[in-house]
A and B are shown apart, each in its own frame.
Chain A
């Protein structure tokens, strides 16, 4: 599962986007400039992997809106992945170009 996560930029980017606060589907789409099909694929994967969960937004009337937030498992993964990237950053001998791909994934 984690291999598949690392193999897809979109999945990691969506997971990162949810780190600070929960976002609705269209908010994820706008903030990452992704088309709906790509967001849908990422969210479907991340839910199945139990890294994120949906939650309905309390409201008395109108459509029942949903936002996605990190599950504990997703939060733990991002912390671990963040440490990994930090280690890469703290080793200048690795060289910028060699680790640029990893930096991109945390943006």
Chain B
């Protein structure tokens, strides 16, 4: 069974518009975590893990990443506040040697507005300089799972259930 570090945003960005009021990105990540746990995977969510005394956010990220994680899954919806996730991507990129050495698989559950595969090429659609965060991670070797509807997303979560940790 896999140990999954599930990253992604927690809130919508009102200025980006189009965000559903019914659930936040954090709610969706918790739902994903529940499905994976139902199939006996261990899921680590940054916000659910208490910090240790005198531990800063980077140390916490390091501790969690090094707690026998087998897979990192990044949930990337449209219209979300991404700053914290960009920070997490930078932390992840900086630890690429550890990721390779520990053979940690990277999965990106991204909305169609975030990135696109055309022929042989993966292209990040995020505007301007923001594209560099996901591009840098994609260059490490990731499995990008593109979704548009809730049904697509559910399909990929089912795939993760069987693929994680393998």
Interface residues of chain A, those whose CB is within 8 Å of chain B, are 24-26, 36, 48, 50, 53-60, 63-66, 71-73
Contacts and interface: CB of A to CB of B under 8 A. Distances in A.
A64 B159 contact: no
Nearest to A57: B141
A50 B117 contact: no
Given A64-B135, A65-B122, A66-B122, A53 B159 contact: yes
A65 B120 contact: yes
A64 B143 contact: no
Contacts of A55: 141-144
Nearest to A69: B143
A25 B155 CA distance: 22
A71 B163 contact: yes
A64 B158 contact: no
Nearest to A51: B159
Interface string B138-161: 111111110000000001101100
A59 to B, nearest CB: 6
A65 B142 CA distance: 11
A73 B117 contact: no
B119 A48 contact: no
Nearest to A36: B119
Contacts of B66: none
Contact of A26 (B119, B122, B163, B166): B119
Q: Which of A56, A57, A71 has most B Cβ within 10 Å?
A: A56
Contacts of A36: 119
Contacts of A54: 117, 122, 143-144
Contact of B163 (A63, A65, A66, A72): A72
